A and B are shown apart, each in its own frame.
Chain A
C-alpha cells in the first residue's frame, strides 16, 4: 500500500474528523461553527486532490506546449461554488450567534438551554 502517496486523502479524513469533533463536542457556538467550517474545508481538499494529475499544469492552451498534461479544472470550479456556499453558511451562522447573544446574553449552548428551561 502506498500510504504516503495518498497523503492528501489522509489530511482530508483527519481534517474532516477534527471539524466533526468540534461540532459534536464543543458547547461554545462559535467553536462549533469553526468546526463546521473545517469540516467543509476538508471536502474542498478532497475535490482539489482528485482533479490533480502529477506533473499536470493549468489547462491553458499555449503555443509550443502541445503535449502538456493538464489537471482537471472542473473540480476546482465546483469547489469555487462550494466555497461560496461555505462562506454564506458561516456568515449566516455567525449572524444567528450574534442574535443568540443579544437574546440570551451568552454563546454557550448550556447557558442557552438553561435559560429557556427557566
Chain B
C-alpha cells in the first residue's frame, strides 16, 4: 500500500489521461459513460488518499522519471492542492453519475464517447495543474484542460454554444499566452522553472523591471482564465450553453483552479521575495473583488434565465474568494480557500438541480419555471438547500466561509474593514433576492398551462443531487475538513509554520 501511496500525485493525472483515448473506442455509449464514471471515481479515491496525506501535514512530493528537482519536473501536493483536488474529482464524479440521462438527452449517442474522452482530458489537465510544481508544466496542463473544456462546452445541442466557445477560446488562449510570456520573462531572469527554485533565485533580481513586467503578465493572464471581474465576459455564455452536466463540472472547479495558480504564484513564489508585494497585491485585486461581487450580483438580480443567473453569481463568488486573498492575512486567505470549497458544494448542488429541471422543463427561462415546485418538489427542495448555502444561512456550508470572511474583515479594522463587511453583507442580500426570484417563480407563480402530475427527474440524478445538497448541510454543521485544509493551506501560502 505504501508503495502506491508514494505514486499518488502522478496517478492523479495519469489515470484519466490513459483512459481518455481508450474511451473513444468504447461502444455502446453507455459503456463509455461507465468507464468514464469509474475512472472519475478512481480519481476521487486518489484525491482522498492525497487529502489524508495532506491532513497529516506533509507536502507530498514526486519526482517524475526520478529526475531530481530543479532539473526534473517535480509534483507537489499540499493542503491547498488537496482541497481543490477533492473539489475537482468530487464534482466530476457527481456530475457524471447524475448526468447520464441529461447527456443522453443532449448529445447523440454516437458522439458521446468523444465527449467523455474530452471530459477525462479536462479532469487530467486540471488535476495536472493542481499537482504540478513546475511553472511550464502548469501552462501545458492549463492548455490541455482548456482545449478539452472548449470541446465539452461546444458539445451541447444549442448552436449559441459555438460563438460562446469561440469567445472563450480567444480569451482563454490570450490568458494562457500572457501567463507564458510571464514565465518566459521569469525564466530569463532566474534560469529555472521549478516554483520553489524560482523563489530562491528571484531574490537576487527581485527589483528588476522584467520581473515586475512578468508579474503583471501572469496576474492578468490568470485573472482572465479565472474570470476575475472585469475579465469574466466569456464565462456566463460558456456556462449557460454548455451541456448541463459539463456546467456542473466547470462551474465547480474550472475558474478556481486558475485562482489556485494565481495564489500559489503570488504567495509562494513572489511574496517572500518582493518587499512591496502585499500592498500592491491587495491594492490591485481588492477593488476588482469588490466590484465583481457588487456588479455581478446586480446583473444576476435582473437575469431572466436560470443558468445565466447562476453563472453571474459564480462571477460574484470569485469576487469573495479574491476578497479574502487580497486581505493578505491568515484569516483572510483561510476564508478564501474555504470559500472555494463551499462555493463548489453550493454551486454544484444548484447546477445539479438545474440539470434535473432541464430534463423535464421546456426551457430554463424563469417564466417557464412557473409551477415547477408542484411538478418537481424534491428537485426544487434540493435547489433551495443549495441556494441557502450560496447565500450563507447558518447550518449550511456557505455560512462558515462568510463567517470567516467577515471576521477577517473585522481584523482589517477601521472604516475599510467595515466597508468590506458592508460589501459582503450587500452581496449576500442580493443573493437572497436572486435565489428568491427562482423560488418565487417555482412556487408562487401560476403556470400558463394547468399543472400536470408530479413528474420528477430520473431517480439516480435526483438522488445524486440530494447527496450534494446533503453535503452542504453536513459540511455546514461540521466544517472540520475544509477548515483544517484551508487553514493549513493558508499557513503554507503565507509561509508560516503549521
Q: Which residue numbers of A lie inside 8 Å of B, CB to CB?
A: 20, 23, 29, 32, 36, 39-40, 43, 46-47, 50, 75, 78, 81-82, 85, 88-89, 92-93, 96-97, 99-100, 103-104, 109, 112-113, 116
Contact = CB atoms under 8 A, between A and B. Distances in A.
A92 B163 contact: no
A89 B163 CA distance: 15
Given A50-B184, A75-B187, A82-B180, A100 B140 contact: no
A3 to B, nearest CB: 16
Given A32-B170, A78-B136, A116-B160, A96 B165 contact: yes
Interface residues of B, number: 24
B173 A100 contact: no
A104 B170 CA distance: 19
B235 to A, nearest CB: 17
Interface in B152-206: 154, 159-160, 162-163, 165-166, 169-170, 173-174, 177, 180-181, 184, 187-188
A75 B177 CA distance: 15
Given A29-B166, A99-B162, A100-B163, 7 more contacts: A36-B173, A40-B177, A50-B187, A75-B184, A82-B139, A89-B147, A96-B165
Contact of B163 (A36, A93, A112): A112
Nearest to A12: B181
Nearest to A113: B163
16 contacts: A20-B174, A32-B170, A36-B173, A39-B173, A39-B174, A46-B184, A50-B184, A82-B139, A89-B143, A89-B147, A92-B150, A92-B151, A96-B169, A97-B166, A104-B162, A112-B163
Contacts of B184: 43, 46-47, 50, 75
Nearest to B188: A50
A113 B167 CA distance: 12
B177 A92 contact: no
Interface string B130-157: 0000001001100100010011001000
A47 B143 CA distance: 18
Given A78-B136, A96-B162, A96-B165, A23 B151 contact: no
Contacts of B151: 92
Pick the 3 closest A-B CB pairs, nearest first.
A103-B159, A85-B143, A50-B188
A100 B262 CA distance: 33
Q: Which of B136, B139, B160, B163 has the most C-beta atoms of chain A within 10 angstroms of its own C-beta? A: B163
B197 to A, nearest CB: 14
Contacts of A103: 159, 162
B175 to A, nearest CB: 12
A69 to B, nearest CB: 16
A93 to B, nearest CB: 6
Given A43-B181, A81-B140, A36 B170 contact: yes
Contacts of A93: 166, 169
B154 A99 contact: yes
Given A75-B187, A85-B143, A100 B169 contact: no
Nearest to B168: A96
Nearest to B146: A89
Nearest to B163: A112
Given A36-B174, A89-B173, A104 B159 contact: yes
A32 B166 CA distance: 10
Interface in B444-459: none
Contacts of A43: 177, 180-181, 184
A4 to B, nearest CB: 19
B177 A39 contact: yes
Contacts of A96: 150, 154, 162, 165-166, 169
B162 A100 contact: yes
Contacts of B177: 39-40, 43
Nearest to A116: B160
A50 B181 CA distance: 12
Nearest to A47: B184
Contacts of B154: 96, 99
Contact of A92 (B159, B169, B187): B169
Contacts of B159: 103-104
A97 B136 CA distance: 29
Contacts of A85: 140, 143, 147
Given A81-B140, A88-B147, A96-B154, A40 B173 contact: yes
A89 B170 CA distance: 9
